């Protein structure tokens, strides 16, 4: 057998700049913005149509959130149960505290099988731990078999969407990269390849088939891990996952500890919520479930790596832990006005969009510039909360995280402004003086527009400053109510504005 070609190195997200810097660069890419707009609007409309078909959608959302909360509130117990069930089914369970431990376990298993390549099912957990890079460092090529992941890998690119990692690429770009790169890594694309989706899918299918048939080891993640039956579940649209999960002799599944569901019955709402929220379909074309090892049927050696990598830290936060309900459907990305314009790379992680803006700083901490900036990568419009099938209140988490960042001394200008505002608002006399100053400024400015304020350039560069009103509400009230402020007489009022005695309405 000929030596398989070596995997192409993709850049990681390590060292990415803070969100505003990366977003500015992304906004200048008009082709990408056009691709993103088309793709997000198409998925968004498909989702809205299939969700509208389900009258009990809100009840399903509540059931999905309740199942995840039950698992999270008793996670230690359910993890022990899933370990026992999987072991009883013939799987070997490993525990990994962090990315290094998980990667080492996968490398060791692959080496013990004497292979220099593995095939992969699309998996966020393995991207999070940068497994492909770890395997490559160990001399083992990792072949992505999901079409979009294959495209990203051929480009030597980073994923920019949870569900559609190549969402920033259009059909012409994909045809070009197939013609340019496929031959380097295996079966070449047909010379007369067009950008017709069916022709592109056929080229990918033929290219991948030889890898499926050759691979001895496959690596997957899992959408769900059922504690009472010891069953792992993967949903997908292309059938590549089914090939990886059934053909190779050894299967290694890297599963985040938050993927546990208590019982088989909890799967029912999830299998309705997930496809409608992610691809806008009533059900997933392929739902593969595997429970350990079965004689002469599927992989004869199954390893499951239960991955923490910061999740215990998130779990300890009573507000933040709701982010662990996430089933990675990507509905929040597709409705987000910020994501639609910047794309996923600006978030500096494999988890982009609204869920990335809360999950990354929680998993990684807020020490880096990029993680400090992510909670601010939102207009707080709330569309993500409305779309989320497991009711994660992302705006609430963003505000919480902004508080954390401010307390740690990040965003100094905003932190100082908030402290000053708190000082003014905590005393009626200070507020009155501030209001008087603002109304005086308003009278001086008149009808002119304020285009910039020294020291607030980052804010005023993009917006006009509202002109202060010529009269405050208090002043108006006093003027309209015969000089009375509430029940108190005019003299001694906090704002010090004399009432207009005798004025009547």
Q: Which residues bind ligand SF4 (CB under 6 A)?
A: 277, 326-332, 355, 387-390, 392
Nearer to ligand SF4, 82 or 390 (CB): 390
Which residues of 257-297 form beta strands (DSSP E)? 260-261, 286-290
Nearer to ligand SF4, 212 or 351 (CB): 351
- Name residue 251's beta-bridge partners: 218, 302
Nearer to ligand SF4, 214 or 391 (CB): 391
Nearer to ligand SF4, 56 or 386 (CB): 386
Nearer to ligand SF4, 280 or 410 (CB): 280
CB neighbourhood size of 126 (10 A): 29
The HSE-up count of residue 78 (CA atoms within 13 Å, CB side) is 23
Report which DSSP code applies to 409.
Answer: T
Least Å distance, CB 437 to ligand SF4, is 43
Asked if 204 and 153 count as a contact pair (C-beta separation under 8 A), the reply is no
Coil, helix or strand at residue 14: coil
Tokens in use for 429?
């006399």
C-alpha 267/C-alpha 475 separation (Å) is 60
Least Å distance, CB 121 to ligand SF4, is 18
Least Å distance, CB 278 to ligand SF4, is 7
Least Å distance, CB 247 to ligand SF4, is 29
Nearer to ligand SF4, 252 or 392 (CB): 392
59 burial type by CB count under 10 A (0-12 exposed, 13-18 middle, 19+ buried): exposed
C-alpha 347/C-alpha 360 separation (Å) is 9
Tokens in use for 220?
């997957």
Report which DSSP code applies to 211.
Answer: H
Tokens in use for 361?
């700083």
Nearer to ligand SF4, 110 or 374 (CB): 374
C-alpha 449/C-alpha 458 separation (Å) is 17
User: Which residues contact residue 483 at a Cβ distance below 8 angstroms, ignoring those fewer than 6 apart?
Assistant: 489, 490, 498, 499, 500, 501, 503
Nearer to ligand SF4, 314 or 390 (CB): 390
Least Å distance, CB 174 to ligand SF4, is 24
Widest Cα–Cα separation across the chain: 103
Nearer to ligand SF4, 301 or 317 (CB): 317
Least Å distance, CB 123 to ligand SF4, is 15
Least Å distance, CB 330 to ligand SF4, is 5
Long-range contacts of 263-270 (CB under 8 A, 24+ apart): 263/226, 263/227, 263/228, 264/226, 264/228, 264/229, 264/231, 266/67, 266/70, 266/71, 266/226, 267/224, 267/226, 267/233, 269/60, 269/63, 269/64, 269/67, 270/64, 270/67, 270/223, 270/224, 270/327
Tokens in use for 272?
């309705």
C-alpha 268/C-alpha 263 separation (Å) is 10
Nearer to ligand SF4, 147 or 327 (CB): 327
Tokens in use for 304?
């499951």
Least Å distance, CB 218 to ligand SF4, is 25
Least Å distance, CB 228 to ligand SF4, is 23
- Name residue 76's beta-bridge partners: none
Q: In 3D, which of 224, 302, 288 has the Cα closest to residue 258? A: 224
Asked if 375 and 358 count as a contact pair (C-beta separation under 8 A), the reply is yes
Least Å distance, CB 390 to ligand SF4, is 5
C-alpha 102/C-alpha 277 separation (Å) is 30
Least Å distance, CB 62 to ligand SF4, is 14
Nearer to ligand SF4, 305 or 327 (CB): 327
Least Å distance, CB 388 to ligand SF4, is 3
Nearer to ligand SF4, 182 or 357 (CB): 357
């Amino acid at each position: 057998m000929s030596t398989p070609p070596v995997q192409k190195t993709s850049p990681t997200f390590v060292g990415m700049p803070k969100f505003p810097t990366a977003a500015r660069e992304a906004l200048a890419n008009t082709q990408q913005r056009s691709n993103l707009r088309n793709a997000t609007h198409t998925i968004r409309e498909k989702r809205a149509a299939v969700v509208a078909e389900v009258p009990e959608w809100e009840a399903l959302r509540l059931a999905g959130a309740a199942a995840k909360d039950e698992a999270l509130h008793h996670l230690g117990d359910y993890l022990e149960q899933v370990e026992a069930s999987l072991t009883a089914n013939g799987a070997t369970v490993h525990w990994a505290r962090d990315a290094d431990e998980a990667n080492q376990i996968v490398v060791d298993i692959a080496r013990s099988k004497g292979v220099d390549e593995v095939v992969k099912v699309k998996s966020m957990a393995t991207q999070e731990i940068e497994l492909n890079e770890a395997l490559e460092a160990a001399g083992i090529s990792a072949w992505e078999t999901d079409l979009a992941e294959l495209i990203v890998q051929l480009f030597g690119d980073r994923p920019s969407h949870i569900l559609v990692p190549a969402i920033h690429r259009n059909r012409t770009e994909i045809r070009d990269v197939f013609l340019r790169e496929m031959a380097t890594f295996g079966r070449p694309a047909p010379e007369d390849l067009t950008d017709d989706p069916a022709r592109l899918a056929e080229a990918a299918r033929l290219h991948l088939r030889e890898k499926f048939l050759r691979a001895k080891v496959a690596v997957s993640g899992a959408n769900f891990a059922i504690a009472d039956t010891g069953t792992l579940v993967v949903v997908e649209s292309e059938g590549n996952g089914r090939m990886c999960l059934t053909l190779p002799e050894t299967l290694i599944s890297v599963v985040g500890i938050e993927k546990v569901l208590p019982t088989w019955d909890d799967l029912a709402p999830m299998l309705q919520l997930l496809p409608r929220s992610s691809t806008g379909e009533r059900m997933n074309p392929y739902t593969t479930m595997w429970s350990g090892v079965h004689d002469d049927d599927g992989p004869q050696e199954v390893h499951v790596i239960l991955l923490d990598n910061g999740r215990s830290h998130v779990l300890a936060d009573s507000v933040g832990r709701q982010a662990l309900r996430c089933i990675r459907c990507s509905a929040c990305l597709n409705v987000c006005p910020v994501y639609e314009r910047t794309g996923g790379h600006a978030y500096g992680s494999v988890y982009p969009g609204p869920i990335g803006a809360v999950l990354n700083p929680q998993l990684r901490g807020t020490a880096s510039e990029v993680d400090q900036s992510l909670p601010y990568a939102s207009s707080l419009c709330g569309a993500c909360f409305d779309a989320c099938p497991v009711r994660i209140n992302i705006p609430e988490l963003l505000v919480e995280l902004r508080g954390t960042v401010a307390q740690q001394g990040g965003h100094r200008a905003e932190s100082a402004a908030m402290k000053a505002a708190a000082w003014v608002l905590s005393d009626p006399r200070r507020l009155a003086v501030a209001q008087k100053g603002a109304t005086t400024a308003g009278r001086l400015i008149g009808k002119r527009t304020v285009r910039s304020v020294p020291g607030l350039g980052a804010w005023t560069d993009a917006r006009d400053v509202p002109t202060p009103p010529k009269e405050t509400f208090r002043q108006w009230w006093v003027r309209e109510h015969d000089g009375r402020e509430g029940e108190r007489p005019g003299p001694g009022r906090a704002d010090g504005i004399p009432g207009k005695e005798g004025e009547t309405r």
